[in-house]
Amino acid sequence: MKVTIVIKTLNEELNIEKCLKSVISELKTIEGGEIILVDSLSEDKTIEISRKYPIKIIQLEDKKDRTCSVGPYLGYINSKYNFIYIIDGDMIFKKGFLKKACEIISNEKIAAVGGLMDEPFSGNLISKKYQEKKQKTGEVDYLDGGGLYRKKIIDEIGFLTNPYLYGNEESDIGFRIRQKGYKIIRIPDIAFVHIRDKKSSLNE
C-alpha cells in the first residue's frame, strides 16, 4: 500500500520542518508514497524550507482562493496513489500510526481512518478547548484533524473537499461518505501532535 500525504500550509515556517521529517519517517514504515504540500501563499519561509525535501509543492495563485478546503482538494486531484492522508503543517505524526491506519483501512467498507490528537497545552484558549474536548472513537460521522482516505471511495462520492467551503469541510466529507454506506473509523491511538501558536491573541 502506497499513500499520498497531503500537507496544508499557510505561514508554517516554525513547524513545517518537523512535520515533513515525521511524514517522511512514517512513509518508510509502509511501502512508501508521495508528499504533496499545498500552500496558501505563505509569506514566511515555509516554501524555502520545504524545497529542501523531496516533495511536490503546489501553491495558490491568488489569496482570495484561500479556504480551509482548498488544500485537500488540490492534493486529491493531484494524487497518484489509492490512499490519501490529510495533515496540517503544524502537525507531527506519531510514530507507527500510519502503518496501523493502513492495516485498518484494508477493510473495503471503511472509507477513512483517523486517530486522536495530542495537543500539548500552549497557554491559549484554543489549546485549552481542544484539551477539554473528548474525541469519540469507533465509528464516527467524520474526522476532524485529518485522516487516511480511500481514493476509490472519494472518486465515487465525487471529490474530497469542496474548495469553496470556509469551514465544516470534514463533516461534509463524512456526510457524503456515509450516504454511500461506507464507514469512518477513529481508533484510540494518537495520530499526531498538534502545535498551536503560543503567541495567540487568545492567550489567557
Q: What is the pLDDT of residue 163?
A: 75
Q: What is the mean pLDDT of the chain?
A: 89
Q: Tell me the CB-side half-sphere exposure of residue 160, using CA atoms within 13 A.
A: 26
Residue 202 pLDDT level (bands cut at 50, 70, 90): very low
Q: How many helices (H) and strands (E) does the chain have?
A: 7, 9
Of 196, 39, 42, 77, the residue nearest 126 (C-alpha): 196
**Is a pLDDT exceeding 90 seen at residue 199?**
no
Q: What DSSP string runs through 118-146?
A: E----SBHHHHHHHHPPPP-EE-S--TT-
**Is a pLDDT exceeding 50 seen at residue 2?**
yes
**Is a pLDDT exceeding 90 seen at residue 120?**
no
Q: What is the pLDDT of residue 201?
A: 38
CA distance 38 to 57: 6
Q: What is the pLDDT of residue 203?
A: 38
Percent of the chain, pLDDT > 70? 89
Cell of 18: 518537523
Sort 91 into a burial class: Cβ within 10 Å, 0-12 / 13-18 / 19+.
buried
**Is a pLDDT exceeding 60 seen at residue 185?**
yes
- For residue 155, what are the contacts with CB-CB under 8 A and spacing of at least 6? none
Q: Which residue has the higher pLDDT, 95 or 68?
A: 95
Q: What is the pLDDT of residues 48-58, one digit of tens each?
A: 999 999 999 99
Report pTM.
Answer: 0.89
Q: What is the pLDDT of residues 126-145, one digit of tens each?
A: 555 555 556 789 999 999 88
CB contact at 8 A, 196 and 119 = yes
CB contact at 8 A, 180 and 152 = no
CA distance 20 to 23: 5
**Is a pLDDT exceeding 50 seen at residue 204?**
no
